[in-house]
């Protein structure tokens, strides 16, 4: 399997040393090794996308004492639910290990695709730190993995809240 760089999307990646993740030979980004933030300090994740000709989608997931609370809107479809602590932690780990969100650029932009989707991802960490990524007309290389992980979480959510 080819490993793409989450910053530039190129497949020119190498293992600098066993177990230390990857390094892009083009943009020199390091990813997939030690995460840039610990999953235990993530307090919330929210994302929204406004594609052209399709319904907007927003997702907000906020940590609670014993897990997390999810609120997802896709057009007029709204789903709310509770996520256990184990699922919350596994979700954050998957976002780091499979979608490499901790290595995403702050801004993805394509002048050629100005009519494309506008999206935003915000990760709030303990002590009011915020990681923010945005895009206009351009999606990050691991967007499909990111969306797939969120869709799985929504399907597994206990909607009895």
What is the per-residue pLDDT across 15-68, written as a single tens digit (0 to 9) for each? 766 667 888 888 888 887 766 667 788 999 999 998 877 789 999 999 998 999
Q: Token pair of 107, please?
A: 């801004």
Q: Are 6 and 146 in contact (CB under 8 A)?
A: no
> For 73-115, what is each residue's pLDDT tens digit?
998 899 999 999 999 999 999 999 899 998 899 998 876 655 6
Q: Are 159 and 77 in contact (CB under 8 A)?
A: no
| Backbone angle region of 128, left / alpha / beta, with phi > 0 → left and psi within -120 to 50 → alpha | left
Residue 7 has phi, psi (to 5 degrees) of -90, -50
Mean pLDDT of all residues in 128-141: 89
Q: What is the pTM of this model?
A: 0.82
- pLDDT of 161 over the 50 cut: no
Question: In 3-state terms, what secondary structure has residue 74?
Answer: strand
């Amino acid at each position: 399997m080819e490993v793409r760089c989450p910053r530039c999307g190129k497949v020119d990646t190498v293992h600098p040393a066993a177990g230390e993740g990857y390094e892009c030979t083009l943009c020199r980004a390091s990813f997939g090794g030690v995460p840039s933030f610990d999953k235990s300090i993530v307090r919330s994740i929210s994302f929204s996308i406004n594609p052209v000709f399709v319904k907007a989608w927003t997702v907000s997931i906020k940590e609670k004492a014993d897990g997390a609370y999810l609120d997802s809107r896709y057009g007029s479809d709204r789903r709310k639910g509770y996520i256990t602590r184990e699922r919350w932690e596994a979700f954050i780990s998957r976002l780091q290990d499979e979608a490499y969100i901790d290595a995403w650029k702050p801004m993805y932009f394509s002048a050629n695709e100005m009519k494309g989707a506008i999206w935003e991802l915000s990760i709030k960490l303990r002590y009011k730190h915020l990681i923010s990524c945005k895009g206009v007309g351009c999606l990050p290389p691991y967007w499909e993995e990111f969306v797939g992980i969120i869709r799985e979480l929504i399907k597994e959510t206990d909607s009895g809240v």
